[in-house]
């Protein structure tokens, strides 16, 4: 079932297999408030990535010994559905998923005012329904939106984007194929107003110069995604507000 | 054991000192603690080494067994890294299945070795697609006094260097061990350097108290030609892009120094 390695990831005109230029991000479709039970939720489609995030809380914490006396505990679970990848993935959490849950939590924490809700839990669940490279970045994007949708006070939204190296050229926002067959992959999460890098990982081999360029590229990608995230959130709440005013007017008319 | 939960006062003092360019134990901001490497303590293992980094102590043992290759790399041996935070190493370690800290530790050590292609895995293939050697790298933390990542990565590297692969022949698809050894085929020597961000300063090789006072942590692993081969940010805070560039430059120098030290052993 394994897919063949393509001959080239980037052609002589610097065009990638999916038609993007080197520093293009993939088009994304994001929705906020997609689950009725969760206090906040968001969904993203990015390439073949399909990722859903839901937030519960602040709520009572169980088990109780996990409570923090001076702030809320942000708990994060990144999980991949068994059908999300080519070969079925066992639903039990893998070491990779455990690690991503940890770095994802640490990427989001600097943005959340957990000190407003001592002794409570904010539970964040990220489910990867289909994976196509960069799922931890896309996961952070929807997770941050879900936290905002839950009305949890935040410094700002966290964005995330990977930069990498394929066929000797630096590329932005890697697909699964580019990650697997390329030379390096470096996911980075960023808070645009604070110039704060909150997640940074890399595997592959890069020189000092390539590394600095990749950090710059990833930050530019994050800034673009940050704009999109803000638009999505604004649109949703503008629509909600309009719907509310319409309802109010209808009610007034009926009363009259 | 009052030092385990360093009082807030002490954390404040640590941060104050660091902002003026000093550290509680007298080190410079980019100095490692004293490094001691001892190789070959465990005779039953194919390789072993103990690293002391100040009071932090990590033992790594390597066992080599035959096994199946991964379907996508039929001609290569397999590398697995596992880390145990043994309960005797710290009052905060508890028995039980590996928690996220030990999983992260193992995966960061693994990433450095794997991405720098330190082991010539294609030389560990016995029968393509069927039989290869599996290199089990087991990281055993014996005393936790801060910066487990660098100590473990260094102990793993020192162990790889002294690991012996037994001579063998293949008879009717079975591996028969013959007397004698040869060194494990290595191509690269990755070295990890971890930074703690305290206030707006970076310090190298944080000890336990500095780890309790830090906002965030950043590990950079550099291979023999000076390329960066693995990175990991940890902790609840953030870094600015300037701090990241600064760290990558310091990591280059530190890796060169420490590599010399290991290769001399």
* A185: number of Cβ within 10 Å: 23
Q: Does residue B176 belong to any structural domain of this protein?
A: yes
Distance, in angstroms, between A30 CA and closest chain B CA? 26
If pLDDT is split at 50, 70 and 90, which confidence band does B1 have?
A: very low
Determine the straight-line distance between the first and last CA of chain A, rounded to whole angstroms.
67
* Cα of B213 vs its chain's centroid, Å: 22
3-state secondary structure at position B140:
strand
pTM: 0.86
User: Domains (ranges, CATH) in chain A?
Assistant: 28-255 (3.30.230.70)
Predicted pLDDT at A17: 94
Write the pLDDT tens digit of every residue in A81-137: 998 998 889 989 999 999 999 999 999 999 999 999 999 999 999 999 999 999 999
Q: Does residue B19 belong to any structural domain of this protein?
A: no
pLDDT at residue A16 is higher than 60:
yes
Write the pLDDT tens digit of every residue in A166-220: 999 999 999 999 999 999 999 999 999 999 999 999 999 999 999 999 999 999 9
B107:A203 CB<8 A: no
A201:B248 CB<8 A: no
Average pLDDT estimate for A136-161: 98
Q: Does residue B123 belong to any structural domain of this protein?
A: yes
Nearest one of A68, A67, A66, A143 to A112, comparing CA atoms: A143
A10 touches chain B (CB under 8 A): no
* B142: number of Cβ within 10 Å: 17
**Chain B hits for A199, Cβ within 8 Å:** 233
Q: Does residue B242 belong to any structural domain of this protein?
A: yes
Chosen from B236, B237, B240, B254 to mutate, greatest number of chain A CBs within 10 A:
B236
User: Across chain A, what does the average pLDDT equal?
Assistant: 94
Say what the ipTM of the complex is: 0.78
Tokens for B135, please give them. 């290199």
pLDDT at residue B240 is higher than 50:
yes
DSSP B80: E
pLDDT at residue A150 is higher than 70:
yes
Distance, in angstroms, between A207 CA and closest chain B CA? 5
Pick from B229, B241, B249: which is nearest to A205 by CB? B229
CATH of the domain at B165: 3.30.230.70
Q: In what order do the strands lie in the sheet with A196-206?
A: A169-172, A159-166, A184-191, A196-206, B228-234, B216-222, B191-198, B201-204
Q: In angstroms, rounded to a whole number, what is the distance separating the alpha carbons of residues A149 and A108?
A: 14
Q: In angstroms, rounded to a whole number, what is the distance separating the alpha carbons of residues B179 and B183?
A: 14
If pLDDT is split at 50, 70 and 90, which confidence band does B5 have?
A: low
Using an 8 Å Cβ cutoff, are B155 and B139 in contact?
yes
Buried b or exposed e, range A91-105, using 16+ CB within 10 angstroms: eeeebebbbbbbbbb
Phi, psi of A54, deg, nearest 5 = -135, 140
Predicted pLDDT at A71: 96
Count the domains in chain B. Answer: 1
**Range of B192's domain?**
24-264
* A56: number of Cβ within 10 Å: 18
Q: Does residue B15 belong to any structural domain of this protein?
A: no
pLDDT at residue B4 is higher than 60:
no
Write the pLDDT tens digit of every residue in B74-131: 999 999 999 999 988 998 998 888 999 999 999 999 999 999 999 999 999 999 999 9
Distance, in angstroms, between A211 CA and closest chain B CA? 8
pLDDT at residue A75 is higher than 50:
yes
Distance, in angstroms, between A208 CA and closest chain B CA? 7
Pick from B232, B241, B252: which is nearest to A208 by CB? B252
Write the pLDDT tens digit of every residue in A166-179: 999 999 999 999 99
């Amino acid at each position: 079932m394994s897919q063949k390695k393509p001959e080239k990831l980037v052609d002589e005109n610097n065009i990638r297999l999916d038609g993007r230029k080197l520093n293009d991000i993939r088009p994304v479709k994001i929705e906020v408030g997609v689950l009725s039970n969760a206090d906040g939720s968001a969904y993203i489609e990015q390439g073949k990535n399909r990722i859903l995030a839901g937030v519960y809380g602040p709520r009572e914490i169980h088990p109780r010994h996990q409570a923090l006396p001076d702030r809320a505990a942000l708990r994060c679970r990144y999980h991949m559905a068994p059908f999300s990848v080519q070969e079925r993935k066992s639903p039990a959490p893998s070491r990779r998923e455990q690690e991503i849950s940890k770095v994802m939590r640490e990427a989001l924490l600097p943005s959340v005012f957990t000190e407003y809700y001592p002794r409570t839990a904010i539970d964040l669940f990220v489910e990867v329904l289909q994976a196509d490279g960069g799922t931890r970045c896309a996961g952070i994007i929807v997770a941050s939106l879900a936290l905002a949708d839950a009305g949890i006070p935040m410094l700002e939204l966290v964005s995330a984007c990977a930069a990498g190296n394929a066929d000797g050229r630096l590329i932005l926002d890697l697909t699964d194929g580019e990650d697997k067959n390329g030379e390096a992959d470096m996911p980075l999460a960023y808070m645009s107003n604070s110039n704060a890098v909150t997640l940074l990982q890399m595997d592959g081999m890069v020189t000092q110069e390539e590394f600095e360029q990749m950090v710059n590229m990833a930050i530019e990608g994050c800034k673009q995604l940050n704009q999109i995230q803000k638009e999505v959130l604004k649109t949703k709440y503008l629509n909600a507000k309009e719907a509310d005013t319409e309802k109010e007017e209808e009610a007034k008319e009926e009363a009259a | 054991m009052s030092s385990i939960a360093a009082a807030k006062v002490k954390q404040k003092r640590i941060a104050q000192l660091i902002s003026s360019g000093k550290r509680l134990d007298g080190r410079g901001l980019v100095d490692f603690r004293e490094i001691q490497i001892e190789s070959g303590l465990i005779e039953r293992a194919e390789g072993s080494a103990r690293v002391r980094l100040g009071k932090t102590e990590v033992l790594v043992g390597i066992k080599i067994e035959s096994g199946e290759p991964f379907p996508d790399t039929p001609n290569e041996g397999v590398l697995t890294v596992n880390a145990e935070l043994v309960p005797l190493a710290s009052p905060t370690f508890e028995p039980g299945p590996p928690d996220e800290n030990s999983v992260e530790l193992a995966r960061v050590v693994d990433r450095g070795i794997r991405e720098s292609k330190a082991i010539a895995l294609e030389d560990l293939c016995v029968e393509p697609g069927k039989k290869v050697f599996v290199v089990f790298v087991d990281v055993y933390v014996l005393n936790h006094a801060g910066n487990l990542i660098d100590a473990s990565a260094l102990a793993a590297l020192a162990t790889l260097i002294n690991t012996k692969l037994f001579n063998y022949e293949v008879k009717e698809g079975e591996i028969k061990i013959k007397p004698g050894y040869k060194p494990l085929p290595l191509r690269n020597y990755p070295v990890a350097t971890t930074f703690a961000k305290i206030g707006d300063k970076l310090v190298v090789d944080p000890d336990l108290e500095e780890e309790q006072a830090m906002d965030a942590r950043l590990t950079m692993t550099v291979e023999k030609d000076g390329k960066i081969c693995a990175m990991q940010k940890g902790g609840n805070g953030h870094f600015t892009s300037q701090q990241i560039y600064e760290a990558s430059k310091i990591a280059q120098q530190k890796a060169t120094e420490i590599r010399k030290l290991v290769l001399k052993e």
